[in-house]
A and B are shown apart, each in its own frame.
Chain A
Amino acid sequence: MVTIDWTLLSQYIISGVVIGLIYSLMAMGITFIYGIMRIINWSMGEFYMIGGYLQYIIITHFLGVENWYLGVLLSMVGVFLLGMVVQGLLIKPMFQGSVERRTEYATIVTISLGVLFTNVAVIGAGPFIYSPPGYYHGTRILTLPVSGTRFVAFIGTIVLLSLFYLFLKKTWWGRAFQGAAQNRMGIQTAGIDVFRLDQIAFGIGVALAAAAGALLAPEFYLHPRCGSIATMKGFEIIVIGGLGSIPGVLCAGLLLGLIESLGAVFLNPSFRDVYGFLFLLAILAIKPTGLFEERERVA
């Protein structure tokens, strides 16, 4: 008879919840962009990376580590603006009739954009690994001792996701975004400039990725390809939760974190990053539309 150490088990569960929620930040960005524009931004991991680098530059050269929260905000703003520019130059023309195959175009363009950013980062900062100083001293969440950075990232994620939720539900802009996700044609007839909306949505989406990058920079370190694992988790989460569904992201993020954490303990910690993919396959086999299916209205 195997005795279960309940403290230990609770630690694994809390650790899974923490990491799962942090992954959701990335997934929220991907799913928000998908919900509005029906495209997947494959360069999400590069925006995550840019967010991390910006944060590193800001806190080591200008503001100091104690002002890390300002750094996170500033890197979000920076990446938001970059995203607006990128969207205006590359994604917007897609909706203005000059592009025939939208999915193909968006896939090719955002993949190339990722290559571009990665290599610019290698040229600019070298293939080195940067590690910003931790944001906070080690502490504990209930029974689980955590590093200060992970604690900060956890709290930061909760704050950002709550703000994002309030923004979507309570503000005029948020309602416009919900409308755009349901029916692009419909909100155009209501007099909303949907192109403007797209641009802002893209900016917000990549800013969420940048926030994840900035918050996790001391934990996972910075290098030009540091966004790839987070992006993989993000993609897995959005399929598990159901493409375009916001409650789906939260639910799937937490589930993914739990499965990884428990899989690492009970099966094999080396394959931690593979369990999510197996879970994704299982979901595709059982309920291919994901946990929360978002119905799309075709105009």
Chain B
Amino acid sequence: MKEISYTKITGFKWYSLSIAALLLLVALLPFSTGQYYLQVFTVAFYYVILASSWNLLAGYTGQFSLAHHAFAAIGGYTSALLVTNFGLPIWLGILAAPLSSALMGFILGMLCLRMRAIYLAIATWAFAESVRITISMTYEITRGDLGLAVPKIFPGIGQGVAYYYLFLGLAAMTVLVIMFIIRSRMGYYLRAIRNDEMVARVMGINTTRWKILAFMLSSGIAGIAGAFYGHYNGLLTPVMIDFNEMAFIVIMVVIGGIRSIAGPVIGAILIELLTETFREFGEIRMVVFALAVIAIARLYNEGAVGAVRQGAQWISRRKQAREGVN
């Protein structure tokens, strides 16, 4: 298994040390940047959650869901509607969000995942558009395109730091959970399904069941992210289910490096930062991102993480060679 063995090659100590340093940097960041970039990072962490959970499904399991943004929106609307219409406390609403997203994922998965992977992609594409239309049209409940006002978790202004740490914690937890899943027995099943579903089935893995579970998990995580996002942003609109959002997630995962834990994290933060920094360039940013994704997919499959990994391997090989000569 490539994913396991590379930690041995690059050296576990070096790896964990650099991650610790990075975490320290991220934890101390609110003390050195203004409110604006604090918000940018908060949104970036939201995308880290979405990108990582999509990578679990698309990267590791090989099942392309094109409704990940829609599941986030379902979570967001579920929590917001429960809180505003039934007076539930916010934390209960947020708890209900992944349940409704995962339930939708379960129904769709039951119908599509018995088939080839392409069925899930098509059905989720149509699902996302249908959800968008439904939310726009049921304006008596969701206020449609006007947008639904959502109570905030931390009321009042100037709570940027609190939201920053909240989303940082959520993103870190998501990444840890996904890391745990990938290294567990389930992770091996999922990768086996991606590599060759027929062989996996012959080996006695109930592929449909594991695929549905992975889809539910990934949709559920998106639901949590969406719920928190709604209570952070204070406004939910059907624009959240524009296909551009989904494309954004794909761009983040591919540029960061599909099928790696760090890839979606790096990709999400990088792309969100670039998007905000080069705001005045408008649509040109998306054109550049799209070209970058095409180039990466076409020429070099592993994204930023793969490049760093290969660089590290190259350096350590050089070092070994030099030591060998001496």
Chain A interface residues (CB < 8 Å from chain B): 40, 42, 90, 93, 100-101, 103-105, 107-109, 111-116, 118-120, 122-123, 225, 228-229, 232, 235-236, 238-239, 243, 270-271, 273-274, 276-277, 280-281, 284-285, 288-289
Contacts and interface: CB of A to CB of B under 8 A. Distances in A.
Given A107-B121, A108-B254, A273-B130, A285 B283 contact: no
A157 B122 CA distance: 24
Contacts of B289: 112, 115
A91 to B, nearest CB: 10
A229 B64 contact: no
B298 A109 contact: yes
Contact of A273 (B118, B133, B251): B133
A271 B138 CA distance: 9
A273 B121 contact: no
A274 B287 contact: no
A228 B129 contact: yes
B129 A116 contact: no
B283 A239 contact: no
The binding surface of chain A is classed by DSSP as helix
B114 A40 contact: no
Contact of B297 (A108, A116, A119): A108
Interface string B105-136: 00000011011011101110111011001100
Given A40-B122, A271-B137, A112 B111 contact: no
A113 B114 contact: no
Contacts of A236: 126
26 contacts: A104-B58, A104-B64, A105-B297, A108-B250, A108-B293, A109-B294, A109-B297, A109-B298, A112-B290, A113-B290, A115-B289, A118-B244, A119-B290, A228-B129, A232-B125, A232-B126, A235-B122, A238-B122, A239-B122, A271-B134, A273-B129, A274-B130, A277-B126, A280-B126, A284-B112, A288-B114
B118 A103 contact: yes
B111 A116 contact: no
Nearest to A231: B125
Interface string B280-320: 00111011011101100110010000000000000000000
A285 B115 CA distance: 12
B62 interface: yes
Nearest to B242: A225
B79 to A, nearest CB: 23
B210 interface: no
The binding surface of chain B is classed by DSSP as helix
Nearest to A280: B126
Interface of B: 58, 62, 64, 66, 111-112, 114-115, 117-119, 121-123, 125-127, 129-130, 133-134, 137, 243-244, 246-247, 250-251, 254, 258, 282-284, 286-287, 289-291, 293-294, 297-298, 301
Given A40-B121, A109-B297, A243-B118, A228 B243 contact: yes
B294 A112 contact: yes
Contacts of A229: 129
Nearest to A236: B126
A119 B294 contact: no
Contacts of A120: 283, 287
Given A112-B293, A273-B129, A288-B114, 17 more contacts: A42-B66, A90-B294, A108-B250, A108-B293, A111-B66, A112-B250, A114-B247, A115-B286, A116-B287, A119-B287, A119-B290, A225-B243, A235-B122, A235-B125, A270-B137, A273-B133, A274-B133
A280 B123 contact: yes
A115 B123 contact: no
A93 B298 CA distance: 8
Contacts of B258: 104
A284 B293 CA distance: 32
B64 A107 contact: yes
Contacts of A101: 62
A288 B290 contact: no
A280 B287 CA distance: 33
A282 B18 CA distance: 51
A277 B104 CA distance: 14
Contacts of A93: 298
B294 to A, nearest CB: 5
Contacts of B283: 119-120, 122-123
Given A112-B251, A113-B294, A232 B129 contact: yes
